[in-house]
Every structure is written in C-alpha cells, then in structure tokens.
Amino acid sequence: MIDYDPATIETKWQSAWNDVKAFESEVDPSRPKFYCLEMFPYPSGKMHMGHVRNYSIGDSMARFRRLAGYNVLYPMGYDSFGMPAENAARKIGGHPHDVTWSNIESIRSDLTRMGFSYDWRRELATSDSAYYRWNQWIFLKFHEMGLVERRTAPTNWCDSCDTVLANEQVKNNRCWRCNGEVRQKHFPSWYLKMTTYADQLLDDLEHIGFPENVKAMQRNWIGRSHGAEIHFPIVDSADSIKAFTTRPDSIFGVTFVTLAPEHPLCNTLVEGTEFEADFRELADECAKISEFDRMNMLRDKKGVFLGRYATNPLTGEAVPIYAGNFVVASYGTGAVMAVPGHDQRDHDFAKKYDIPISQVLSEEDGKEPKVTGRAFEGLGWMVNSKRPDFDGLYGDDAKAAVIAALEKEGMGAGTIQYRLKDWLLSRQRFWGTPIPFIHCDDCGVIPVPESDLPVELPLDVVFTEGQSGNPLASHDGFVNTTCPNCNLAAKRETDTMDTFYDSSWYFLRFADALNQSAPFDKSNADYWLEGGVDLYIGGIEHAVMHLLYARFFTKALRDAGLNDVSEPFSRLVCQGMVNAPTPFCKTCNVEYHVDLDGQKCPICDESLGSRSAKMSKSLGNTVSPETMIGKYGADTVRLFILFGANPEAGMDWSDSAIDSNYRQMKAIHSALIQGIDNSSESGIMDEWLLARVRLVRNNWVDRMSNVGLRDGVMISHFEMVADWQWAQRRGGISASTAREYLTTWIPMLYPATPHLAEEMWEMLGMDTMLALSNLDLHDASGVDIQDTIVLGQEEYLRRVIERARSVRELAERHTDGDLSAIIIQTAQEWKVELASKAIQMHNDAFDFKQGGNKFLQTQECFQDEDMKGDVMQYWRSIVVGQKKRRGRIHTWGEKESTLVSSEFDEVGFILENIPFIATVLDIETVEVYRAGEGEDVAGKARTSLPLEPGIAWR
C-alpha cells in the first residue's frame, strides 16, 4: 500500500492550483457570491498557531462554498503600518519599510505553505503608497463632506509610544498597545466626526449578524442617552452652566452643580480667588487620568468648592458649584446637576463634603420617600416639588412635564447625548499615512491637491536607538513644500493617521484591488459586499475599535456615492484563542516569558508554576507552523486546528493531540487507498454503507453551512473513516459501492484537508480537480424508509456489542472464573407490536391525549389480567402524557422508531449475526431468546423499551 507522504502531496497540489489560477475570482452576477475574509495580520514576524487557526477557519469555508458552486472572493493583505515596525527599525538602525517587507515575505511564505486558497492578485499592504494614496484621497473626500475637523482639545497621551491615542485605545488608563500609563495633554489634532453617524451605528446593529456580546459592547460605547439640557444661571454673573441629565424628573432635588476641571468656566470662577490653589491641584491630578477611567474606574470621588453659586431654574434656590474629578468635559456638557437623594455617586460626594440631601421621588405613590441612608435611583412619584402640578407625576410623564416647563421658561430643552466621541485620528509617529494637508502662513491649513497624491513617506530617514519624537517633523525634504494656492513656502502636516484608519476600508479595496484610478469601482464593491462580507473572522478585542470604525467608514463612503452598501460585515465569527503553557506566578498573578520556566518569580521570589495563556510573541509560548508542517504536513495542522474546538471557543496546544491527528490522517489515507484498489464484485455491506453516506453527507452540509467546522470535521474525518472500517469488518463492500462512497467522501475531506483530497480525487480517476469543481453537495432525496431500516439494523447490532462489552466489565469484577458464554434477551413480542402501532399512529397524527387509553383497552395484550399492569406501565413509557410533552411519542430517534415494527425480528437478526458477535467479543457461546421465553438471567439488565437488549455473561 502507498505510504502517506504529505510533503510531496502538498507541494504538488499547491503548484497545480497556482498553475491553473484556481482561486482567482471575478464579478459574475449569474452566480451566488460568497465573500470570506479574516482580519488581516500585522506583519510583526513569523506566523504562529493563533494566526493559523484564524486562516484555517476562513480557508475551509471558502473551499466549502466554492465546492457548493459559489463565486468566492477570498483575499489576503497586511495591516503593515504601525509602531512595532518603527521601534524595530530603531533597534537595528534601519527603516520601518525594510523591516515591514521582510516580515511580509516571511508571513507570505507560511501562508503559501499552508495551502490557503487566496486570490493572491489582490494582495495588498497598507504601508504601500499604492494603498495609502487612497487613504489620503478618502480623507480629502471626508473633508469635503464636513467629516474632518482640526481642533485643540485634551487628548490621551502615551509617553512610552510618544503619541496620542483615541478613547477606544485606552483601557484602564493604559495604552492598548504597550500597557503604559496614559495622561491628558492638549494638542491641535485631526478628528473624524463619527458622531454624525451615531444613530445609524446604533440602530443598524439590529440588522447585522454580530454576536450579541459584540453588539452590546458597541451599544454601550455609542451610549445614546435621552434627557434634557438644563441651564443653571451663575449668581451675580451673565454666565450660565448648561448641564445634561437623563433624569430631569429629579431637578427639584438638585443641591449642588459639579463641573469637569477642564470646563472653561472653572478658570473664570476661581481665577484670583482663595479657591484657585485647590482647584489647580485637582485639575493637575485629573490631567494624569484618562477620561474613561475618570468615568468608570475612580474609587475616590474628589471635588473642590469654586466659591460661587448657581440658581436652580425651577426653584430659584442658589446651589454651590464644585469641580469634581468624576466629571469629564467630553461627555454631555462637562457639567452635572447633582441630586444626592437619587444618585449614589452624588450621595457619596454630598456626604463627604457635608452638602444637603433632598429626596424628591418616592418609591410608592402618595407616600413620603423612605429614609434608607442610600440614594433611591429608580423611577418614582414626584414629591416635595416646590411648584404646583408636579407632585404625583411618574416616570416619562414626570420627565416630559419638567422639560416642557424648562422650554417654556427658556431654561433648557429635551435633547440626546452620546458617549461616542469623534475619532481622534492624529498620531505623532512616522510609520503611518501622512495626513494630506499643508500649513501656509497666508492661506491657512489647506488640503493637498488630489493630483499631488500620494504624499509619500521618505525612505531616507535614519532611525536610531533612543530616538524620540516624529522624524517627519525634522525631515526638511518632507516638511518644506510650496502652497498650492499662493505658491509661497509652506510646511506639510507631520502628523500621520491612526493605523485603524487603514483597516477601516480594506475590505472594499479587496473588491477591486487592481484598480489604479480609484479606491474601488462602485459596481465591484456593490457586487462583492451586497449584504456585507458574508463571513468575517477575527478577535473580539476589536469590537469597539476596528469593527466600529469600519461600520462608520462604510456608511460615510456610501454617502459619498462610492458604494450602496450600509454595513461592511454580514456575519462575524470571533474565533477563540490558541493557548499554550507559560510560566506563571500565582502570588503576583503575572505571566512570564517561557525563558523563565522552572525559575523563581522576579518579583516575589517564589517558584513559578505554569498555566495556559494565549500564544504571543511577548510570552514566547508560540508554536511555529513551519516546524509542525515539516513534521506532520499542512493538512494535519489544519485538521488539528479545526477539530480542536468550535471556531468561537478557545483551545489549548497539545503535542499529543497533533500526533493523534497525524495518525488519523494516515488512517484516512489507508482507507482511501483501500477503496480505490477495491476490485470485489459484491459486498454484503453495500446497502448499509450507501444509506449511511446519504445520511451523513446531508448532516455534514448542514454543519458546514453554519460554520460548524468542528462538527463538520468530526463527520468527514472521523465518522466516515469509522463507517468504512465497520463495513470492512462486517463483510466488505463491492468495487462499485466503494467508488460511489469515495466519490461522496473525498469532497467532504476537501475543505479541511484539501491536499490529500485532491490527491485521492485524482487517483480515483477524476478529470477536474476539486478546486475547480462545483458539486451538488446536498442530496435532496435524503434518507428514505428503507435506508432508515438498514441503518437501524446495523445500529442495533452495534448497541448489542457495546452493551455486551460494558456488562462484561461488570461481570468480570464479580466472577472468579473465566466467562464462557453470553446471553442476549430481546423484548417480548407484544412490546414490539405495541410500539410499532404507536409509532404508526404518531405518524398519522393520532391524538394520544384523547384516544390513547381507549386504543390500549382494545389490544389483546391488555386483556390478560396478569399483564395489565405491565402493559399500562410500558404504554406510559412510550407515550409521554404529562405536562409539556403530553401526547408525544417517547423520543428514541428515527432509526429506533422505524425498527420497532413487525418487519424486524430481533431474535432472528441476532441469530444471523452470531458469528460476527462471537468474533468481536472473542467468545464461543452466544445464546439468544426473547424475554419471558427462557431463564431470565438478564432480566435486571433490561429496560422496559424494545431495542434495548438485555445482556448477561456467565
């Protein structure tokens, strides 16, 4: 028999696919399309198994859809701008361009060796000027649409990365990339006005196939709040504080007003007063904390009195004005009306600073508020309103009444606020898309003419270790230019774009990646993205960054007339991580690099243990695909990845598991060769094997169609092998049946292990490679009644053998001598007959609830007084007549239900197969009889249902 040689097979078919351009795709309106895409990689070095998992999922689905007749777009590119390449260049004294392209070559080599079926013509890299030229073109288009703004505002600054960060890139007051501390810093910066699309971004979540947790994260981030803007005039001043609240019904309980330290009124109120010093100290402290953390993570709510008072517009009462560290300038108006009776944060603050607390909402209609020592934050009935016509109002009616009064008196209005902020795009780094604007002393800040695009990054910049700042700012050749309006000397903008900008539209570029005159052609984009990318695969960590930005871009480009698509992604699959062991200190709760394996914790000096952690270069716990491919082949690696866990679940790397999968691949190869070499003219298992493949193929198609890759692989790579091996043990099959079986089985192997499948397909004598085949995968005829009977009989035999083995283990523990015989008892004939009738009645929609007992009373077995109790108990066991399941047939499954019929003689069937049973169980004596017709040695092992044989050993 031919040995399994993955290295030879895989290189052969990768070359063959390349020669015929098997995976190149073009627009074809006559065929259904399937756009499959993974979040493209950042080229920081070689791939590891985490990458392989992502791409194996996508490649399997792309191949499956091609096989099913879809026109598949499956491209690959590189998210190649970013700080790691810049930092790497500093270490080696090189240029980010060289570092990046070297890494791209390495990753491309790994992708090719895995055999992924990309349309390589569409390959792109975001750091290529052929791509970022269109970044700049789109930026200018957004500027024309009023979606670009340059303004000075507090920004999140990371000293370690030497750049500003968007709000979405700050986690727990730390940089998302380097984990360094983030502080506030004022900069003139470029913004994209995402808030223009806040409502669309929120409302359209209802119509896309994102996991619910991703939708929840985006809803929370957008944070739409309905409420009121209320004006609090400052006593003895023409100024007024505008405060946003979602609870205008609590306005009569306002006892102070709190401003964000960044609020411009703070300086006005305290400048030159005795309160200025305390305010400056608080403001400096807040400047070191991100707005996100001030809103969500603060434990100590602090504030300072600003020495002035504001007037409650509906009561006329003067309330003190504070600055508080928990109020941020960018949310709402940067001012909060504080109601300590009905907001716990305000309650704690009031207690701390001895501010009055008023309760103006009651939990019960007509009663005074309860005194609990805590704020009542729910909706309640208005009380103590100090103005007529408000007390007794509740919920939305109360809110509406307050808003109406404010609007009537010109002291406020109903409004909507959002947690979402405009996208801070500027980065003070080199390795990113240059922002296409010019600073002219006479003309101001003006856009670069479209004809001058791209504004390219210089390749002669020198990077050195310890260098800080943006090299563009000191590169005369880049900075110095001429104003396109007045032709006088001018300076280029030296900020570059956030790299998330690059990935916010790359899926549209893939639709028309060879286009040199536009970012993409509208008709191509509308064809491939109709309904969105059909399957998008990536990590949930991008839920409120990349995924939200991409949705914004798609809508904005739609409004620019570039496409008709409103949502970029139809279905999102957030793949789980591949984990591997890494040193871990339980005391410090810190993971360490694998170089510290077996050593002491650098912090507490305790011995390090180990735990499973996400594969990452920083921990060094990665596994090289190149090494695994060299040892086992790409198909085995793919099988291990796909069989290890469902796509959304995490999985652990296991050397023993991949070795086991290699053995399975060899077993599959052996079975296929055996089938191809089969020359038998007949086979007793022909009918069963063909019935089995009809059933299994439809199950496989259903699983694969729903991205159930683990279940699909279980069927194609494990169940199908087991079925083949069972058929061989039971007596074999004919050559014609073997060919028919392989003709169905080999295409099922193709999505997960395409190289082996192509090799076996060719050996079977097929002229067209699977990569170019469109097959009718789903058998519309399905499994008929004869198939079900045949399958059920064989399943019954398996059950007899499995039950015999389990009982044997028990018998051996309680028997001193050797076991020499097995006794098999089958159900009494009346049980089989009664179950058969019940199933037929069920198929005829018989109402068991109304007529079940009447039917039973007419049966011969029920007439015997000694048997009535047993018959009634048995009837109840097959017809469930209680609660939700009243009137249903007991669920055995299709195979068993069909077999409970007068056509199936359990005793006869077992007698026919005694030689096989004896061989499998390695026993000489097998006795078979119906329960009640002989010594009931197996009675205790039986259940009351037919098709559940009683077994005993002696």
How far is the C-alpha of 212 from the C-alpha of 205, rounded, in Å?
10
Q: Is the pLDDT of residue 767 over 90?
A: yes
**Alpha carbon 278 to its chain's center:** 48
**Residue 877 pLDDT grade (very low, low, confident, very high; cuts 50, 70, 90):** confident
Confidence of residue 44 (pLDDT cuts 50, 70, 90): confident
Identify the weakest region by mean pLDDT among 21-30, 182-191, 726-735, 760-769.
182-191
Inter-residue contact 950 to 938 (CB < 8 Å):
yes
Per-residue pLDDT reduced to its tens digit, 60-95: 999 999 999 999 999 999 999 988 888 888 888 889
Q: Does 623 have pLDDT greater than 60?
A: yes
> For a pLDDT cut of 90, what percent of the chain falls above it?
64
| Residue with tokens 């195979």, as numbered in its chain | 895
CA distance 514 to 517: 9
pLDDT given for residue 946 in this prediction:
67
Provide the pLDDT for residue 368: 92
- The whole-model pTM stands at 0.87
Q: What is the pLDDT of residue 935?
A: 61
What's residue 769's pLDDT?
Answer: 97
Rounded alpha-carbon distances, angstroms, from residue 883 to 208, 455, 538, 855: 38, 73, 44, 21
Q: Which of 138-152, 713-727, 787-801, 874-888 has the lowest mean pLDDT?
A: 874-888
Place of tokens 């609590």: 250
CB 251 within 8 A of CB 314: yes
pLDDT on residue 889:
45
pLDDT of residue 888: 43
Q: pLDDT tier at 892 (50, 70, 90 boundaries)?
A: very low
Q: Note the pLDDT of residue 330.
A: 76
Q: Which residue has the tokens 């053995």?
A: 663
Q: What is the pLDDT of residue 884?
A: 36
pLDDT for residue 526: 98
Cα-Cα-Cα-Cα dihedral sign, residues 837, 842, 845, 849: positive
Lowest mean pLDDT among 144-148, 444-448, 776-780: 776-780
- Mean pLDDT score of the chain, rounded to an integer? 90
- Hey, how many other C-beta atoms are within 10 angstroms of the C-beta on 29? 9
Residue 395 pLDDT exceeds 80? yes
Q: Which of 3-12, 389-398, 943-952 has the lowest mean pLDDT?
A: 943-952
- H-helix or E-strand containing 170? strand 170-171
User: pLDDT above 70 covers what percent of the chain?
Assistant: 94
Instruction: Single out the residue of 768, 795, 781 nearest to residue 895, CA to CA.
Output: 795
State CA 729 to chain mean position distance. Answer: 43
Closest CA to 190 of 135, 144, 143: 143
Is the pLDDT score of 652 beyond 80?
yes
Q: Pick left, alpha or beta for residue 795 (phi over 0 → left; psi -120 to 50 → alpha; otherwise beta).
A: alpha
Q: Rounded mean pLDDT of 341-346?
A: 94
Sign of CA dihedral 640, 642, 644, 647: positive
User: Residue 310: which H helix or E strand, with range?
Assistant: strand 303-311
- Tokens 């001058």 correspond to 452
> Among the listed ranges 56-65, 359-368, 769-778, 841-850, which one has the minimum average pLDDT value?
841-850
Please state the rounded mean pLDDT for residues 349-365: 95
Coil, helix or strand for 935? Answer: coil
At residue 781, the pLDDT reads: 64
In this predicted structure, the answer to whether residue 431 has a pLDDT above a threshold of 80 is yes
The whole-angstrom separation of Cα 716 and Cα 719 is 6
Q: What pLDDT is stored for residue 823 in this prediction?
A: 87
Paired residues of 148 in beta bridges: 192
Residue 682 pLDDT level (bands cut at 50, 70, 90): very high
Strands 303-311 and 335-338: unpaired
The letter for the amino acid at 683 is G
| 74 or 474: which leads in pLDDT | 74
Q: What is the pLDDT of residue 941?
A: 46
Confidence of residue 885 (pLDDT cuts 50, 70, 90): very low
Please determine, for residue 660, whether its predicted confidence score (pLDDT) is greater than 90. Answer: yes
